[in-house]
Chain A
Amino acid sequence: MSLNADYTDRIPNNVDLRGDRRLQRALEAWQPRFMQWWRDLGPDLIARDVYLRTAISADRDGWAHFGHLPLEEYRWGIFLADREPDRRIPFGEHMGTEAWQQVPGEYRADLQRLLVVQGDTEPASVEQQRLLGFTAPSLYDLRNLFQVNVEEGRHLWAMVYLLHAFFGREGREQAEELLMRHSGSVDAPRILGAFNEPTRDWLAFFMFTYFTDRDGKFQLGTLAESGFDPLSRTCRFMLREEAHHMMVGTTGIDRVVRRTADLMREHDTDDIKRYGGIPLDIVQRYLNFHYSVSLDLFGGERSTNVANYFTAGLKGRWQEERRGDDHRLTDATAVVDVVVGGRIEQTAIPALTALNQDLRSEYFTDCNHGVRRWNRILEEAGVDQKLSLPHHGFNRRVGAFAGSSVTPGGALVDADAWARQQAEWLPTADDFDYVHSLMKPVFEPGRMAAWIAPPATGINGQPVDYEYVHLT
């Protein structure tokens, strides 16, 4: 197994593609379809070249290489984290046995489903974000958008590699279909509802990369524990890229909040619209929306599928190996929320069926770090308002709270009362119009749109006013 990428191949990889003619042919047949998809549904704004990070090897240092290149020449490739010698399945009923290097026939359908659902989200987000380039608040941000886009494309490659390498003819068909479904398409929409709405503005983009990409991080984290070793290694590598996407979200919101705080202090008012900033209550409403729809992506409080995946050894828990229990959970119980008779209560269910909830609470803790960080920015600027995460029952369509009306504070109210206050909690048409009105491109190196503060540092040691993107 060569750990460094083989750039002499048409498809850079560290999986010894040359040694597997069948797989190489399959992926080479898929490659032009991917390129066609990229041209049709990738970023609409065409840049001459972009300062991009490219994965070139899977070892911990120097896995990335920086340089200007046209997006189409990005080397989408296949990289897996290094193989751990003698890796054992860390949980479930096969715990302690050797990790699988091939797909066990019994779990083919389940594994394929997991890959297809994960794989479907990767190109979906590229499609959702395709128009954003036209309104980028700076070249620095435009570059980050493109970086995220090409890497989501690479994540698609990662899933397609697994489908091609391990799932035969059907895997190849599924890989084709990943390119046939399109975000928002009437005829063939993406699998998960949240991936069918366009990302309408840059505030939404930062929220998406903070909250929704973070769901991706946690899903990948559970798959990184998988007993199916190639999936585990694939996801471990993807997680490194995912961390960068979330940094784009975190620092993006940092900068919005900083700019808002500065304007509030400077003009001594909350109403900073006339100074071209985004008022804090709009930021909070965007946050409420993106956080709540991202919570839905974790699935219902009670899930049989996730229990089956765990028992089978396909999908573990977040940081499975650090958990102090028996990693089988056959007799364990866990407490989940239920809504009964107009009240939110807790009920104990088999821990296996409560794993979505387990992952969601890890996610909550992680999301809270960002909120604390933004509140520190507000505090340092002398603004005493705070941002907060809404209650986990707020605005949910999936799971125990679906059909119930929960306020951001966590009170269960009737549907009419909720609808009357909705405009305080979720972005309104006016909010969207206002944010939209701010979306004017700023393509001069080093300059920022008025609604966002400059970043503290540039990319890869370059100055902020570096020409990250050469437009045509």
Chain B
Amino acid sequence: MALETAEKVATTDDAAPAVSFATDPTRYAHWHLSIDGVVATLTMDVDEHLGLRPGYAMKLNSYDLGVDIELHDAVQRLRFEHPEVACVIITSAKDRCFSAGANIGMLAQATHPWKVNFCKFTNETRLEIEDATANSGQTYIAAVNGAAAGGGYELALACDEILLIDDGSSAVSLPELPLLAVLPATGGLTRLGDKRHVRRDLADVFVTKSEGVKAPTALRWGLVDAAIARGQFDESVSARAASIAAQRSRPKAAPGVVLEPLAVSFGKDGIAYDHVSAVLDRSAGVVTLTIAGPADEAPNDAHEARSLGCKFWPLAVARELDDLILNLRTNELTLGTWVIRTAGDMRGVLDHDRFMLEHRETDWFVNEVELLVKRVLKRLDVTSRSLLASIEPGSCFGGLLLELALVCDEQFMLDGRMEDDERSAVIVVTESNLGVYPMGNALSRLESRFFGRASELDAVRVAVGDPLDAAAASELGLVTVIPDAIDWEDELRIALEQRTSFSPDALTAMEASLRFVGPETMESKIFGRLTAWQNWIFSRPNAIGPAGALRRYGSGQRAELSRERV
């Protein structure tokens, strides 16, 4: 995904984003996607010369953000465009090498924010793979046909099954700690125990052993599901994929929905899609995101929704918002506060919301749209920006859009009316807010909000379907502050000015801590515990100091490690 290939996205060249997430299989530089009936094969074949940035060669299927952007695109497209596919094989086109993981040269030259963002995105993509396996009837299996090191093995870990070639030399390994003085950063440490149930002491041996372990031991320790002789490998993988596919219930003949390129224009101070727009206030460090309600009526039946395809409003909004989040997160680091607004007809939003609820269990397409909305909301949950909801007259925070307000750290809602405006601000809670779009901690946003306060949650349940004005919403605990027309602008301005005056680091840490209450899941541990530790290491001299392991890697000089335990 070289920068030059982003031209379809950018309509104004000068303001085009530094990194674009728009691609499609005809433009992949690093993957081949092939489909044979109900089985798809995603073959990693990284072109070492086409790194997203200059300065490193991606040998041995090592990867950078550009490689992962294509993977993300492929995983997404398979769900929508190929509903007939029930099993996806991830494998490698390289000889005796599956993947060497994230490219070290890239990591060594990358800034701290770039590393953190890169890891976050790759983590999200691995979770998308698991989501497809768990909820979309598309089971991913890793056909590890050569050495899988670090992120390469972690990619395999995101699959439901790992089939490792047994050729007497190919090993799986997580060599980050011994070789680079960092952690396997795409969920490896968490998945070893939580997903694969590898014994803790064996996991300890595994991650301190730079050369990793070969098939027989890997199988015994639970690091892989099968060890297959080289001569039988391809055949066994195909047989396994076919048998998995036979057990899954995908709509065999349903035509897919094509994900057309998004229409977007980039300006100096704004980004505009069809339904989603952002105004960038660089001097204030604030972005205002506005999500528009539907212009058209909700479809009458699922068939109609499918024929709308990527024009179906919830899908269009989710895709645009996803792209916007990724753009801002990667390219606009200093815009630290996002104000989230909606604008449009509440009735249209609620009609679509109801339509989704009615068909979610019976139609594969509606199910996919719902899952995508869920993932986009989760992406917001883990975004390191202060999120404030601004709920004004003419807004349409109802049902699935109300989730956007609940994602935010605080909610501002106008009490009463603005001058010269008949309308007042209302929000509507629906069944969608009661568990359809869970967070990474497996709770709904309302359950998280009212954690340990069952009676307050019950009161909200009773209000399902009611238009709630500021007073009612505040009474139910659904909004934070409800200034009236006189105070509104000042309140909002002061809140933003105060917010942007705080330390961005402290805010990120604070928000991430408060957003996820209650129980831990594998996902919350990956974005919480593992990521926090890794990010700490990423800022320590032992990794990134002039004589640190990451900096010295490739120079042939040994790292100088401080022996002090912190």
Contacts and interface: CB of A to CB of B under 8 A. Distances in A.
Interface of A: 93, 109, 112-113, 177, 180-181, 185-189, 191, 193, 304, 306-308, 310-312, 329-330, 350, 352-353, 355
Contacts of B166: 187-188
A186 B231 contact: yes
A177 B211 CA distance: 15
B555 A93 contact: no
Contacts of B211: 109, 112-113
B557 A352 contact: yes
Nearest to B230: A187
Interface in B523-566: 553-558
Contacts of B231: 186-187
Contacts of A330: 557
B210 A350 contact: no
Interface of B: 95, 166-169, 178, 209-211, 229-232, 553-558
Q: Lowest 4 A-B CB distances belong to which pairs? A: A307-B556, A352-B556, A188-B168, A186-B231
Contacts of A189: 167-169, 230
What is the predominant secondary structure among interface residues of chain B facing chain A? loop
B168 A180 contact: yes
Contact of A307 (B95, B167, B230, B555): B555
B230 A311 contact: no
B102 to A, nearest CB: 15
B168, B178, B210, B553: most-surrounded residue (chain A CB, <10 A): B168
B556 A177 contact: no
B166, B169, B553: most-surrounded residue (chain A CB, <10 A): B169
B58 to A, nearest CB: 14
A304 B554 contact: yes
B168 A109 contact: no
A216 to B, nearest CB: 19
Contacts of A185: 230
Given A189-B230, A191-B169, A353 B556 contact: yes
B210 A310 contact: no
Nearest to A303: B556
17 contacts: A109-B209, A186-B231, A187-B168, A187-B229, A187-B231, A187-B232, A188-B168, A188-B229, A193-B95, A304-B556, A307-B554, A307-B555, A307-B556, A308-B558, A311-B557, A352-B555, A352-B556
B556 A310 contact: yes
Given A109-B178, A112-B211, A181-B169, A186 B230 contact: yes
A188 B167 contact: yes
A189 B231 CA distance: 11
B233 to A, nearest CB: 9
A412 to B, nearest CB: 16
A308, A312, A329: most-surrounded residue (chain B CB, <10 A): A308
Contacts of A113: 211
Nearest to A308: B556
Nearest to A304: B554
Nearest to B231: A186
Nearest to B208: A109
Given A109-B210, A188-B166, A193-B95, 20 more contacts: A109-B178, A109-B209, A177-B168, A181-B168, A185-B230, A186-B230, A188-B167, A188-B168, A189-B167, A189-B230, A308-B558, A310-B556, A311-B556, A312-B558, A350-B555, A350-B556, A352-B555, A352-B556, A352-B557, A353-B555
A57 to B, nearest CB: 35
A68 B334 CA distance: 82
Nearest to A307: B556
A324 B40 CA distance: 58
Contacts of A191: 169
Given A109-B178, A113-B211, A187-B230, A353 B557 contact: no
A109 B178 CA distance: 10
Contacts of A352: 555-557
A82 B555 CA distance: 34
A304 B558 contact: no
A330 B554 CA distance: 12
A191 B96 CA distance: 9
Nearest to B49: A403
Contacts of B209: 109
Contacts of B558: 93, 308, 311-312
B209, B553, B555: most-surrounded residue (chain A CB, <10 A): B555
A308 to B, nearest CB: 6
A306 B167 CA distance: 25
A336 to B, nearest CB: 13
Contacts of B95: 193
A292 to B, nearest CB: 18
Nearest to B214: A177
B556 A187 contact: no
A307 B559 CA distance: 13
Contacts of B556: 304, 306-308, 310-311, 329, 350, 352-353, 355
Contacts of A353: 554-556
B230 A188 contact: yes
A307 B554 CA distance: 7
A170 B554 CA distance: 27
Contacts of B557: 93, 307, 311, 330, 352
